[in-house]
Each structure stands twice: as structure tokens, then as C-alpha cells.
Amino acid sequence: MDAPAISRTEKLLSAVLNNLKKYLLAIASSLFAVFLAMSSFFTTELGYTYVVQDTLFGTIRVFTEPGLHFKVPFFSNVYTYNQAMTLSFGNQESGEKIKSTRQLSEVEVQFADTYTARIPATFRFRLSADPEKIVAMHREFRSYDNLIDSLLIKNAKNVTVVTATQYTGEEFFQGGLNKFKVQLEDQLQNGLYETERQQVEVEQTDLAAVSSTNDDGDRLERKVQLVWKNIILQDSAGQAKRIANPLDAYGIQVRQVTIGRPLPEKRLDELLVKKKDLVAKRITAIQAQETARAEAKTAQLEKEIEKARAIQDAQRSKELAIISKQKEVEMERQQAELETVRKEKEKAVAVLEKQKQLEISVAERDIQKANAEAATYAAKAIREQGLAEAEVAKAHLLAKQAARDIYMAEIQRDIAQVMYPALKDVTIDMPDYYVGADAGASPVSSLEVFTSLGAMEQLRRSSGQTIPQ
């Protein structure tokens, strides 16, 4: 190949390489820009607390709500904390494991009487929503795992162990679990009680020592022992004194404490089992004794009942015979009394009849007398009323006579008030002819009237006038 061709090929290769470098630089710049943009923002989710530490400007920010936030790329660290945490110490009932932040073994505790046990428990905590407390917590523990391992787990185990020293093993397993749970939750939330180690008398059941007087190694005996226990101290107001709670400084709250089925050590378990068996045997023996006593008492009562029944039967027969005789005597007495009463009744009825007739006669006499007096009073009343009315009429008449003109004028006025409205639309036409008789003459007969009317009709026709009727 000649020199010009080689020169053109080199130039072409150089141009291709230059363009490739530009493209690669552009791609790298784009990828860096995308990476820079992605590093400048982060998202927060519900249920988590985020602590953002800016090493460039030395600022710390806290986010507890979901959203999109800015951060300085390459100079910001984001620390994530769960807002709620569950610590499970040991498996719960039926071997079921609870979904939790940490799965740990049961808390081993030692009671005041040196017996030990393993207590499965679950503790649920919640972080504070105060940013200042979150920052103080982050400064102290630096990470979520360190917070759980260094504070929450150790504090929960410590409070559980300390609370157990306030109980004896037998007291705990014989009804003290509920009170233990209440005190455990109270101390975990509000701080441990201040206690003082003291010797107290505790009545408990234990295996009796084998001796010359006892060859039963399983026999239990109740005895009073002096046991060292942590006694809760109280202030002047009667409230329990407390030690500062390490959770208060960071605002961490205890939301829930649950206790599973405690597992006692072998010696304590054997003691409780034997005690339960002996108590059951004792209850069975007591019940058998009570049953035997009840059966004996029942048999005795049955005999007494039979005896009482025989006595009652004999007494009843005697009483029936007496009652029969008493009945006969009573019936005869009642019959005699009935006859006497009947005669007395007839006599009383006759007397009453006479008295009734007498009272009727007296009543009739009184009625007649009252009627006569009433008639007399009625006649007097009528007479008096008539006299009074006559006096009133006389007074009216005298008044009218005294003012005769006024009285007549009032009468004319009343007549006018009635007649004038009635004659308002009445028209009176005077007749053209009148047939009548003179004063003092005899009355006009019907024939004369008809004759006059006929003549007037003829006159009307001849003159063309209408004769009024």
C-alpha cells in the first residue's frame, strides 16, 4: 500500500477514535449526572425513622413521615431505625415463634429462695417522635442494631431478672405470675424500684428431711423459713421509690409486655409436682372421709326416720280414733246448737216482723202529717205570690194612669215602628165609584151591589174607560 493511502487510513482511524472518545465522554457524563441526581435525593417510608447526617456542613436531620427529601451527595449518611421493635425471648406457647425484630432464648432468672427458672417473654418498644431525643439516641448508639443489642435487650433482661428477686419460686408458680407481669411492665416503663435486701419469714412447702422419725423421702411438710428478699422502698407519700429509667432519656416507650409459660428448674418442678400429687391425695382422702361420715350419718338418719315414722303411725292411729269420737260429739253438739239457733231465729223473725209493721205505720203517719204541712205551706206560698203579683200589677196600672198621655204616645210609637216599614212600598188608589149606605140607613144588599156594578160596566164600555176593581 502506498504512503497516501496509509495517511488517509490513519486520519480516518484518528477521526473515529476522537468521535468515540466524545461519545464515551458524553455517556459517562450522563451516567454521572444520573448517579449524582439519584444520590441527591432519598425516600422515606411509613413506620421508619431516618437520621440524615451531613458531614460536609455538620447538620443532622430527622424524618419520621414518608416522602422525598434532598441530601448532599457523597457527604450524607442516612441511618434507618424501626419506629416499633419486638424482642422475643424464647418460644411462646405450643412452640410457635412470634415474628419479631430479635429471636432470643428465654430469660433465666433466680428467685429469692435460690430456685431458678426460664421465663419466655415478649417486649414491644416504640421510638419517640421528638427529633431531639432521636438525635440524642443516635449520638449514643450510632445504629439500629447497636440500639437493640446495647440498650433494649440488656434493659429488658435486667428488669426481668431484678423483678424475679422480689419473689420466691413457690410464690411465683403458685399464683404470682400475674403480679410479676404487672410489676415487670411498670418497672420497664417507669424505672426499677429501689429495694433493700431483707430477711422475711416465708411459709412454704418443702420435702421433709429423712430421719429416724421419717423414712418417707417424698413426704412434704409446711414450715416457715427466713428468706432474703428484695423489699420495695417507699417514700413519705407511700409511693415506691424508683431508679432512673435509661429509656426516658431517649423517649422510648414500652407498648406491650407478654409472658409465656415459665419453665422451672428440675428441683422446683419436682417439688411442685409432688406437692400437687400430695395435695390431690389429701383432697381425695378428705373427700373419702367426708363420704364415709356422710354415709354413716345417712344410715343413722334413715333409722331415725323409720323410728319416727313408726311413732308417727301409732300416734296418727290414736289421733284418728280420738278425732272420730270428737267428730261424733261435735256433730251432736252442732245439731243441738243448730236447733236452738233455728228457734231463736224464728222468734227473732216474728219480733222483727212486728217491729217492721209498727215502723211502717209510724212512717205512714209521719208522711201524711208531712204532706198536710206541705200542702198548707204551698197554699200560703201561692196566696202570698198572688198578693205580690196583684200589688205589682196595681203599681203598674197606677203608673200608667198617672202618665196616660206618655203611655199612649209610647203605644202609638210602637205601632208606627211596626206599620211604617210594612207600608213603605204600598200604594193606595181611590175608587171612581163607591156603593154604600148612609149613616143610620140599612146595609146595602148584594143585589144592589151587583146592580150597581153592572151599571158601571155598561158605563165603562160606552165611554171606553176602565173601571177599577
User: How would you label 236-273 residue by residue, b for 16+ Cβ within 10 Å and e otherwise?
Assistant: eeeebebeebebeebbbebeebebbebebbeebeebbe
N residues, the chain: 469
Q: Is 463 exposed, middle or buried (0-12, 13-18, 19+ CB in 10 A)?
A: exposed
Look up residue 229 and give its DSSP letter.
E
Per DSSP, the three-state class of 302 is helix
- Residue 49's closest CA among 179, 168, 147? 147
The dihedral sign for the CA sequence 214, 218, 219, 225 = positive
Closest CA to 257 of 378, 435, 98: 98
51, 63, 198, 241 from 165: Cα distances, Å? 39, 41, 12, 17
Which amino acid, residue 388? A
Q: Based on C-alpha coordinates, what's the Rg of the chain? A: 68
Query: What architecture is the 83-208+219-264 domain classified under in CATH?
Result: 2-Layer Sandwich (3.30)
On whether the CB atoms of residues 188 and 162 are closer than 8 A, the answer is no
Residue 98 to residue 286: CA distance in whole angstroms? 45
Grid cell locating 438: 148612609
Contact 166, 197 (CB under 8 A): no
What pLDDT is attached to residue 221? 64
Give the three cell numbers for residue 306. 323409720
43 neighbors 65 (Cβ within 8 angstroms)? no
Task: Report the alpha-carbon distance of residue 115 to residue 164 in Å, rounded.
Answer: 10
In angstroms, the CA 82 to CA 398 distance is 128
3-state secondary structure of 193: strand
SS3 438: coil
Q: Output the pLDDT for position 469.
A: 47
Closest C-alpha to 167, from 123, 196, 120, 202: 202
List per-residue pLDDT tens for the chain, 469 residues long. Answer: 556 666 777 777 777 777 777 777 777 777 766 665 666 777 888 889 999 888 777 788 899 888 887 777 777 888 999 999 999 998 655 555 567 778 888 999 988 888 899 999 999 999 998 999 999 999 999 999 999 999 999 999 999 999 998 888 888 888 788 899 999 999 999 988 888 877 776 666 665 555 556 656 556 666 666 777 777 888 888 888 888 889 998 999 999 999 888 888 888 878 777 776 665 665 566 667 777 777 778 888 888 888 888 888 888 888 888 888 888 888 888 888 888 888 888 888 888 888 888 888 888 888 888 888 888 888 888 888 888 888 887 787 777 777 777 877 777 787 777 776 766 666 666 666 565 666 556 666 666 666 777 777 777 777 665 544 4
> Could you read off the pLDDT of 250-283 as tens digits, one per residue?
999 999 999 888 888 888 878 777 776 665 665 5
Domain boundaries, the chain: 83-208+219-264
| Residue position matching grid coordinates 493511502 | 5
| Cα–Cα distance for residue pair 331/448, rounded to 1 Å | 120
Tell me the three state secondary structure of residue 78: strand
Any idea what the Cα angle at residue 155 is, between residues 92 and 242, rounded to 5°?
Answer: 115
Which residues lie closer than 8 Å to 21 by C-beta, 6 or more apart? Answer: none
- Return the axis-axis angle of helices 266-402 and 404-422, rounded to nearest 10°: 110
Terminus-to-terminus CA distance in the chain, angstroms?
173
Instruction: Give the per-residue pLDDT at 134.
Output: 92
Q: Is the pTM of this model over 0.75?
A: no
| Cα–Cα distance measured from residue 78 to residue 51, given in angstroms and rounded to the nearest whole number | 6
Residue 108 β-bridge partners: 118
- Which residue reads 216482723 in cell numbers? 353
Bridge partners (DSSP) of residue 118 are 108, 263
How many C-beta neighbours within 10 Å does residue 172 have?
24
Give, in order, the Cα–Cα distances in Å from 152 to each of 62, 98, 157, 194: 21, 18, 9, 21
Contacts of 174 by beta carbon, 8 Å cutoff, 6+ apart: 272
Cα–Cα distance for residue pair 372/365, rounded to 1 Å? 11
CA distance 257 to 137: 22
Phi, psi of 99, deg, nearest 5: -70, 115
**Cα separations in angstroms, 315 against 52, 304, 308, 366:** 106, 16, 10, 70
Query: Can you tell me which residue has the cell 431516618?
Result: 50
